Amino acid sequence: MHFTTRPEIAGTFGVATSTHWIASAVGMSLLEKGGNAFDAAAAMGFVLHVVEPHLNGPLGDMPMLIKPSCDTVPTLVCGQGTAPARATIRHYRDEGLTRIPGSGLLATVIPGAFDAWMITLRDHGSLPLRDILEPAIHYARSGHPALARVSTTISGLAEFFRDEWPTSYDTWLPGGSAPQPGALMKNPALADTWTRLLAEAEAKQGREAQIEAARDAFYRGFVAEAIDRYLRDACVMDAAGRRRKGVLSGEDMAGWQASYEAPISTRYKGWTVWKGGPWTQGPALLQSLQILDGFDLDALDLNGARFVHLVTEVMKLAFADREAYYGDPDHTDIPMNTLLSEKYAEERRALIGETASVEQRPGQLPGHETWAAAARRHASEDYVSGGGTGAGEPTMAHLSQRRGDTVHIDVIDRWGNMVSATPSGGWLQSSPVVPGLGMPLNTRAQMFWLDEGLPTSLAPGRRPRTTLSPSMAREPDGTELAFGTPGGDQQDQWQLMYLLRLVHGGLNLQQAVDAPLFHTGHFQESFYPRPARPGHLMIEPAFGEAVIAELRQRGHAVEVSEPWSIGRLTAASRNSDGLLRAAATPRLMQAYAIGR
C-alpha cells in the first residue's frame, strides 16, 4: 500500500478543497444546502478573506476557471483589475521611483476579485447572495482561530502599523495586542461592510437584481466612496521607504467590471490543459509542456536528479519568455501562437544540456528584440529594497524573509460543474486598511515596469501580468481535473510537477500532492524588489542526499528547504461515470479536502 498523508477523498455528491479547512467546510455546507459549485466557491472565497487575511482580501484580484456541466471547455473569469487612469510612468518616475514599491498606495490597481465572484454568481450560481456572504460575516464578527502565521505577521508589523498605518493597527491589533495563535480573531468592520452591502442588495427584489445592487454598492456606492475619500488625502509609507499618495479613484472603480474570456490550452500526451492568457503566467506551464513533449519522461525516475534537472532547465526557458513577452493582450499584440508552436518548442529544447544554465535566455522573436533585451537587462540589475515594509506577495513566508502569499479553491458538484480559483492581493501587510471597511487595498501594480514600450509597461487601463494561475485539464479517458496552488512565481512550477506526476507516474491526486517538490528562483521575480537568482534551485530533502549531490554536480545552486515545506497544492477531479475525487496538501497543515 502506498502511504499518503491523508486519504484521497472520493464520492459522488460533491467535493470542496482549499487552503484552509474552514473554507473547505463552508464550501461543502453550501453544496449540502443545494447550492452548486459556483455558490460553494464564492462562499469559500469570502471566508478565505477572513481566515487568511495575510494571504488575500476583498480588495484583491483573482483569475478563475469555471466549467459549467453543459460546456465542453472551461471559461476564464477575469477578476484582475487594471491600472488607474492616473497610473502613468511619468507620474511614478516623478515620485522618484525606478520600480513600483511592493506595498503602500501606488502599488494599487482597481480591485477585481469581488466583481468576478458577483458575475459568476449572477450567471451560474443558484443560492441567494445572503447564503454566500453569511459564513464570512459570521467568522468576521464572531471570530475564527488565528493561524500562527497570521499572529506572527501582525506581531512583526505592530510598531510599523502603530507609527505609519494606524487604521491597520486598529484593525489587526485591537486593544494594542496581536491575536495569539489559536485565539479568536475578529474583524467587526468587515462584518459591518458585508452586512450593509447585503442590506442594500436585499432592498431589491429577485436574486439577480440583488447581485447587481451589490456590484453597484461595491464599485459605485459606499465601498468605492470610502476608498475614494481615503485616497484623496492618505499619504503613507511604502516598501521603497517614503510616504506617497495613491492614484486610484472612485471613478476608476465605477468604470471597470469583471469579464469572461477564453482560456488558452495545449495538448500533452493525450491530455488537454487549460490556463489563463498572457496577462497571467499560465502560458509558462503550457510552454514547459510543449518543450517537455520531446523528452521521454516515462524513462525517468520522477524523484531522480535527471528529472529535476530537466524540468528545472525547461522552466528557466519558459519563464524567461514570461518575462520578455507576456502582458495584457488587450493592449499589446502578444506572440502567443509562436510561443506555443511546435517549431518554437523544438528550438528551445535544443538549448537544454546536461549542466545547469545560469543565463537568462528569452527566445529571440523577430520584431521583438527590444523586449528580450529588456528582460535580460532587468534580470542583471541589482535590486535592493528601499527599507519600507510589507513588500510584495512573498512567495511563501516560510521560504523567504518576506511575508504573505495567496489562497486556492477547487470545487466540483454532483452535476459536474467545476471551479478552480486563485484569489489573492489585499494582504494585511501590503496596504493600510481603508477606514470603515475593514479591508486593505491590493498591490498588484508592482508587476509593471516603469520602462516604456514593453508588454508589462505601466499604463492606465492595462492589466498587470499577474502570477495567479488556476488550472483545468482533461485526461485521455475524459476525466476532468481542477487544480492549483498559491506561491507567486512558484505556482506554475509546482503545478507542472504535479501534472507530470499524474501523467507519467500514474499517481492518484493525493499521492501526487504528497510527492516531493522543487522550484527555481533563476528568473526575474514578479514581486518587489524583483531580484533574479541565476542557477538557484530549492528542493525538499525528501529527494535524498544522492539526488541533491548530483544536482550540485550539474551546476545548480541548490538550497535545501525544510521538510514538507514547498507548495500548497489542491486538486479535484470527476470521471465520466460521475465519481469525484479531491486532495489537499499537508504542507503548512492548513489545506483540506472534503467530499462525499
% of residues, the chain, pLDDT over 90: 95
Give the tens place of pLDDT for each residue, 148-197.
999 999 999 999 999 999 999 999 999 999 999 999 999 999 999 999 99
Looking at the DSSP assignment, which residues form a beta bridge with residue 582?
A: 9, 572
Q: How many residues does the chain have?
A: 596
User: Quick count: other Cβ atoms within 10 Å of Cβ 364?
Assistant: 11
Rg, C-alpha atoms of the chain: 22
Residues in a beta bridge with 237: 243
**Average pLDDT of span 132-147:** 98
- Among residues 244, 155, 152, 141, the alpha carbon closest in space to that of 190 is found at 141
- DSSP 8-state class, residue 461: T
Cα 107–109–112 angle (5° rounding)? 140
For 316, phi then psi, to 5°, come to -55, -40
pLDDT, residue 2, reads 82
Asked whether the predicted pLDDT for residue 383 surpasses 90, the reply is no
pLDDT at 384: 53
In whole angstroms, give the CA distance from residue 65 to residue 177: 39
What pLDDT score does 1 carry? Answer: 57
Q: Does residue 363 register a pLDDT over 90? A: yes
One-character DSSP codes across 366-393: TT-HHHHHHHHHHHHS-----S-SS-S-
203-234 confidence digits (pLDDT tens): 999 999 999 999 999 999 999 999 999 999 99
Can you tell me the mean pLDDT for 54-80?
98
| Cβ atoms of 39 and 131 closer than 8 Å | yes
The yes-or-no verdict on residue 399 having pLDDT over 50 is: no
Cell numbers found for residue 565: 515545506
Residue 311's φ and ψ, nearest 5 degrees, are -65, -40
Pair type for strands 14-18 and 9-11: unpaired
Among residues 125, 31, 54, 40, the alpha carbon closest in space to that of 440 is found at: 54
What pLDDT score was predicted for residue 177? Answer: 95
Q: Which three cell numbers stand for residue 76?
A: 476564464
User: What distance in Å separates the CA atoms of residue 451 and residue 410, rounded to the nearest whole number?
Assistant: 37
- 206's enclosing H/E stretch is none
Residue 48 has pLDDT above 70, yes or no: yes
Mean pLDDT over 409-438 rounds to 97
Over residues 520-560, the pLDDT tens digits come to: 999 999 999 999 999 999 999 999 999 999 999 999 999 99
Q: What are phi and psi for residue 537, nearest 5 degrees? A: -145, 115
How sure is the predictor about 389, in pLDDT bands with cuts at 50, 70 and 90? low
**Tens digit of pLDDT for each residue in 297-337?**
999 999 999 999 999 999 999 999 999 999 999 999 999 99
Q: The pTM is what?
A: 0.96
* Tens digits of residue pLDDT in 227-237: 999 999 999 99
For residue range 460-505, list pLDDT tens digits in order: 999 999 999 999 999 999 999 999 999 999 999 999 999 999 999 9
Q: Which three cell numbers stand for residue 164?
A: 505609519
Q: CA distances (Å), 90 to each of 168, 236, 259, 451, in order?
A: 30, 20, 29, 10
Of the candidates 485, 461, 482, 486, the one whose C-alpha atom is nearest the C-alpha of residue 473 is 482
Q: What string of H, E and C letters represents the secondary structure of 343-361?
A: HHHHHHHCCCCCCCCCCCC
**What is the model's pLDDT at position 505?**
97
- Whether the CB-CB separation of 431 and 54 falls below 8 Å is answered with no
User: Is residue 386's pLDDT more than 60?
Assistant: no
Across 270-287, average pLDDT: 98
Residues 6+ apart with CB under 8 A from 553: none
